[in-house]
Amino acid sequence: MNNAGVFSLGDLEIAGEMDGAVQKPVRSLDGMTAVTLEAFFSYGSGGVTCAAVVQTTFDGNAWRDVARFDFDTATAVKHCNLEGLLSKPVTSYAPLVKQGFYDGVLGNGLRAVVSSKGEYSGTSLALRASVR
């Protein structure tokens, strides 16, 4: 793979409520076999919950959840490692509705979608993907 490296999936301030704010995707990751995701949530004050969903695509149009990070009112750093070379039985796709992951499925792009409830102040979220 010639596009291995560390990519930003989003650096954003969390203030007012967000309902599925799509971040700029990272494309052209053909041959991606694994990715380590890091989500750094720096809490300021206020707010209730914040969720960051990382998605992958095979065609650039349909995006599927592969990891979800949930935060509340505390600073936290969370990680997830996904492998694309795993054997996986045939399953039906379902969006992630709580923190977790869907391993064994990696397309040629990644993006993040962020949602939050409550009025956060002085709070930020940084998402990184180390692609191999």
Q: Would you state the structure tokens that stand for residue 89, as one six-digit string?
A: 């039985």
Q: What is the pLDDT along the chain (132 residues), one digit of tens a residue?
A: 668 999 999 999 999 899 999 999 999 999 999 999 999 999 999 999 999 999 999 999 999 999 999 999 999 999 999 999 988 889 889 999 999 999 999 999 999 999 999 999 999 999 999 999
**Distance separating alpha carbons of residues 37 and 74, to the nearest angstrom:** 19
| pTM across the whole model | 0.96
- List, in sequence order, every residue forming a beta bridge with 11; answer none if it has no partner: 126
Contact 23, 112 (CB under 8 A): yes
